[in-house]
Amino acid sequence: MPNVTVIGAQWGDEGKGKVVDWLASRADIVVRFQGGHNAGHTLVVGNQTYKLSLLPSGLVRGKLGIIGNGVVVDPEALLAEIERVRAQGLHVSPENLRVADNAILILPVHSAIDRAREVARGDRKIGTTGRGIGPAYEDKVARRAIRVCDLAEPETLDEKLDEVLLHHNTLLKGLGAETFEKQVLLDRLLELAPRILPYAEPVWERLDEARRAGKRILFEGAQAVMLDVDHGTYPFVTSSNTVAATAAAGSGVAPSTIGFVLGIAKAYCTRVGSGPFPSELHDATGRLLGERGFEFGTVTGRPRRCGWFDAALVRQAVKVGGIQGLALTKIDVLDGLAELKICTGYRIGGEVFRRLPAAPRAQAAAEPIYETMEGWSASTRGARNWAELPAQAVKYVRRLEELVEAPVTLLSNGPERDETILMRDPFEG
């Protein structure tokens, strides 16, 4: 049986948490492979709602969770999240959670520089969460980052903090922000070390053993393809690669290990923060989608911008992200709408495009080209198979498949686990 990699096919917040939770029942291990605690997955299980940022969603299913080397880890945030879900009755310990020993740590100085830069941008803010994700990835590339394994070596921490603070304190001073003292950071890291290190190991070895043993591995992405630092709406993107190929590099496995690539897309479209959004609605329909879909960021609490389904955007994500099948979520939010629109391309300066250009001014100028479809009055909630859906809802899904050039393999028609219609099990290939 193949493994499965789950990624977002829009700008994130597509409902990956529920889909990963649902798929985790078929998996043995669930792996986070990129991003940090700027991403959030909401899982509704009975009367419990779990809001996860760093923890792999499979933990809720009692599966082994792994945080890969491609994730940047804020140790304070990780420990706080563990304590929060434990208070909800979830078991989390080194027995069922492992963290890559070569994963990069986010320090308080990273969050400070993140926030100071955003303030300095003024009206040109990029919408960062201010949690230090970008600066931590910068340190990784600049080869000055502190990693989980460094917590076991006080001398290494001491030396690395000199270089980290030489860089960041200089920037903070130039931005008029408060600087950091080395000893304060060193003492705190040494205090955290015995609480973090029991979770640490070379996870690539465990994953290789699991692969050889025929275990099913589910790779869980954060954010989405259109927030990819290379392929997204740059510079309004996250600081890591979010495409499926990153699952291999971000967890230490061969590319062939990532298996079937499942893209998650809402039946409409949302975005949090700044950046282009051609199909965004600023009218009553946009507000209705937001209200019905409870569209608020899991991590930030910010209201999401809402709009019609952008098929051109998702088609681009399918091709760039390596998506082989789509999980379409929140189709129930469209129940009762008399008319639906689908963005099939863009008009920019009189020219028609079937993709979103890379240049930022062209992206900002993109005007959607819409195709209109009749909506449906009956509810999609309660449907447990394809035949029980309203006929017009089926037509809508079929049209989306044609436009994005990928099959819908799974349909979510509500927040509960059992409100899921499976057309093809991703673990069956």
Dump pLDDT digits (tens) for 37-94: 976 677 777 777 888 889 998 898 889 999 999 999 999 999 999 999 999 999 999 9
Among residues 225, 196, 429, 208, which one has the least CA distance to residue 310? 225
Tokens of 362: 């062209």
pLDDT of residue 299: 61
Of the candidates 21, 37, 41, 74, the residue annotated as catalytic is 41
Catalytic (active site) residue 41: yes
Does the pLDDT value for residue 199 go beyond 80?
Answer: yes
Catalytic (active site) residue 13: yes
Residue 64 and residue 250: Cα distance in Å, rounded?
17
Residue 349 zone, left/alpha/beta (φ > 0; ψ -120 to 50; rest): left
Provide the CATH number for the domain around residue 129. Answer: 1.10.300.10
Q: Measured in whole angstroms, how far is the alpha carbon of residue 389 from the centre of its chain?
A: 29
In sign, the C-alpha dihedral spanning 226, 229, 233, 235 is positive
Are 16 and 136 found together in one domain? no
Q: What is the pLDDT of residues 318-335, one digit of tens each?
A: 999 999 999 999 999 999
Are 69 and 135 found together in one domain? no
Please state, for a pLDDT cut of 90, what percent of the chain lies above it. 78
pTM: 0.93
Provide the CATH number for the domain around residue 242. Answer: 3.40.440.10
The pLDDT-based confidence of 20 (bands split at 50, 70, 90) is: confident
pLDDT of residue 393: 97
pLDDT of residue 389: 96
Does the pLDDT value for residue 298 go beyond 70?
Answer: no
- In the chain, the number of structural domains is 3
Among 143, 168, 196, identify where a domain stops: 196
Of the candidates 13, 74, 139, 228, the residue annotated as catalytic is 13
H/E element, 24: helix 16-24
Are 219 and 331 found together in one domain? no
415 CB-near residues (< 8 Å, 6+ apart) = 18, 44
Q: Determine the 3-state secondary structure of 402 from DSSP.
A: helix
Q: What is the DSSP letter of 219?
A: E
Mean pLDDT of 209-226: 94
Residue 345 and residue 137: Cα distance in Å, rounded?
34
Are 89 and 216 found together in one domain? yes
Are 190 and 114 found together in one domain? yes
Pairing between β-strand 269-271 and β-strand 305-307 as defined by DSSP bridges = antiparallel
97-100 β-sheet, strand order: 200-201, 97-100, 64-67, 29-32, 217-220, 4-8, 260-266, 325-329, 408-412, 420-422
Q: What is the pLDDT of residues 342-367, one digit of tens each?
A: 999 999 998 999 999 999 999 999 99
Cis peptide bond N-terminal to 235, omega within 30: yes
Among 196, 222, 239, identify where a domain stops: 196
Are 278 and 398 found together in one domain? yes
Does the pLDDT value for residue 170 go beyond 80?
Answer: yes
| Separation in Å, CA 11 to CA 232, 304, 345, 392 | 9, 11, 17, 26
Provide the CATH number for the domain around residue 336. Answer: 3.90.170.10
Of 18-22, 258-262, 352-356, 391-395, the one with minimum mean pLDDT is 18-22
Among 212, 243, 260, identify where a domain stops: 260
Residue 394 and residue 117: Cα distance in Å, rounded?
47
Residue 68 and residue 344: Cα distance in Å, rounded?
36
Are 167 and 235 found together in one domain? no
Write the DSSP string, 137-201. Answer: HHHHHTT---BGGGGG-HHHHHHHHHHHHHHHHHHHHHTT-----HHHHHHHHHHHHHHHGGGEE
Are 91 and 112 found together in one domain? no
Tokens of 379: 């509810």
Are 77 and 91 found together in one domain? yes
Are 303 and 377 found together in one domain? yes
Please state, for a pLDDT cut of 70, what percent of the chain lies above it. 98
In sign, the C-alpha dihedral spanning 366, 245, 407, 424 is negative
Q: Say if CB 58 and CB 29 are below 8 A apart.
A: yes
Are 130 and 51 found together in one domain? no
Highest mean pLDDT among 18-32, 46-60, 278-292: 278-292
Among residues 182, 205, 223, 164, which one has the least CA distance to residue 69? 205
pLDDT of residue 297: 67
Domain that holds residue 61: 4-102+200-260
Pairing between β-strand 104-105 and β-strand 72-73 as defined by DSSP bridges = parallel
The CB density around residue 118, as the number of other CB atoms within 10 Å, is: 17
H/E element, 18: helix 16-24
Q: Determine the 3-state secondary structure of 346 from DSSP.
A: strand
Residue 376 and residue 152: Cα distance in Å, rounded?
59
pLDDT of residue 300: 64
Average pLDDT of the residues of the chain = 92
Are 109 and 185 found together in one domain? yes
Residue 129 and residue 274: Cα distance in Å, rounded?
11
Does the pLDDT value for residue 1 go beyond 60?
Answer: no
